[in-house]
A and B are shown apart, each in its own frame.
Chain A
Amino acid sequence: MPVPISQAWTVASYVLGQKLRGNKRYPLVLMLEPLFRCNLACAGCGKIQYPDHILNKRLTPEQCWAAADECGAPMVSIPGGEPLIHPEIDKIVEGLVARKKYIYLCTNALLLKRKIDLFKPTKYLTFSVHMDGLEPEHDAAVCRDGTYKIALEGIKEAVARGFRVTTNTTLFEGANPNRVREFFDEMMKLKVEGMMLSPGYSYQKAPDQEHFLGRDRTKKLFQQILANRKKSWKFNLSPNFLEFLQGNVDYDCTPWGNPTYNVFGWQKPCYLLQDGYVPTFKELIEDTAWENYGQKSGNEKCRDCMVHCGYEASSVDDTFGSIPGFARTVKAAIAYGT
């Protein structure tokens, strides 16, 4: 089981509660971006291309907690930018833990060893370390030599101290399935709790659109990677999402599933597209023309997207939405050992 039973139970009871209330649009994971500043500058990244005065902006802990309260999702993912740069990241995490939110602090781990004393191990906090492959692939992807080794040290330290640690990996055009499989072996040797995977993020404003995977390529790549998968591999993903990535099941996007809050407000409609901002979560849910988004809407921007922030929520909704969906999940879970 790659997540604690308490987390699985919290999420299951939350989703079932939403279903019983007839709430069709409920958030699953709050994407909380407390800053855009990063200590890496990966080519093609669309999250860090701002003027300095924007990169210098930070959400306060109070703003972060208010967003978590307003949204109500049981899980909070903290990407960025690099969250460990935030001078009050420990306070932000502490407040979210007090609210019993399951937190995935997404980090490149360059500062993890230096800042780890700021945090206490708890079932509510997971360091989700950005690892884009084995050393040559990772260092090339983040455009700086030496980062893989530093991240590895950070992971080892966090695991040794009893923290929950996962890896998160983004795969782009040209990824070598065999090398990805070797990478999985290496990550599992580090005793991480599980691995997260996603095809390349087609950020609308990313200065690079050519290297993100199209749908057919995505399915083929994930079929190659996950064929004859090893039992030792643990994934921190819904088993149905892994099936979706391989084209074994079809979903439409759930863009409200992972709402994004950052220094500009609540981002419309999702983590990847920036069609505008609103000051409240209520406005985001009620005023967004959701029918204009998702692959089935015909929106060009959504055509090739198979990213976890849109489809993980669809997978979870499928699990609790019908008996066949639940049966699919159980079958896939057994197959993946999750």
Chain B
Amino acid sequence: MPQAEKHALPTHKPGSIEGTTLACTDAASRQNALQTAFDYRGDVTLDFKNGNKITGFVFRYDESPAQVHLFIPQGKDSVPQIFPADQVTAVHFTGEDPAFGKSWDDWTTKAEKERIKESERLARESVARGEL
């Protein structure tokens, strides 16, 4: 299967696909790009043949009928929308990759001081949201 063209945007984070783009030059590269978008944990921006750009979270990708389902952010919430997959010309991994650097190894290799600081920050954020 031909690999989709992959190049880095200025925001590219080494070790993550955040900040990269997958161009959809044919059916196989489009399928690969949209499957990668479905697996990605952050928001993506899709380019369409008509020149439109849509940013959101790909929560579902069906190959038949070829459709891509996104949650489009609206304020603090988001709403679902469906787009024809064959109209997508490129996938940009524009949103922050929320899974990047969150493995157990990433955590344990941090200095204890840093872990405490991060843990306290996350707790403060939960308190601010009324969740603690």
Contact = CB atoms under 8 A, between A and B. Distances in A.
A206 B115 CA distance: 20
A39 B123 CA distance: 7
A39 B100 contact: no
A207 B102 contact: yes
Contacts of B123: 144
Interface size class of A (residues with CB under 8 A): 20 to 34
A169 B60 CA distance: 31
Given A52-B76, A205-B39, A43 B57 contact: no
Given A43-B106, A145-B119, A276-B60, A57 B131 contact: no
Given A39-B132, A111-B131, A53 B106 contact: no
A172 B43 CA distance: 30
Contacts of B122: 40-41, 144
B78 interface: yes
Contacts, number: 96
B132 A111 contact: yes
Interface string A51-68: 111101100000000000
B131 A51 contact: no
A207 B119 contact: no
B38 to A, nearest CB: 8
B119 A144 contact: yes
Interface stretch (B5-13, B24-32, B91-99): B91-99
A211 interface: yes
Q: Which applies to chain B's interface (DSSP): helix, strand, loop or mixed?
A: mixed
B126 interface: yes
A265 interface: yes
Contact of A37 (B71, B74, B131): B131
A43 B100 CA distance: 11
Contact of B132 (A43, A110, A210): A110
Contacts of B38: 276
Interface in A47-104: 49-54, 56-57, 82, 85
B44 to A, nearest CB: 10
B105 A208 contact: yes
Given A56-B76, A57-B78, A143-B119, A51 B39 contact: no
Q: Give the interface centre of A40, A43, A56 by most chain B CB atoms within 10 Å.
A: A43
Contacts of A247: none
B103 interface: yes
Nearest to A52: B76
Contacts of B62: 276
Given A50-B98, A207-B99, A39 B104 contact: no
Q: Which of A50, A82, A110, A277 has the most CB of B within 10 A?
A: A50
Contacts of B57: 50-51, 53-54
A46 interface: yes
Across the A-B interface, the 8 shortest Cβ-Cβ residue pairs: A43-B107, A208-B103, A207-B99, A49-B99, A53-B78, A44-B104, A39-B126, A39-B131
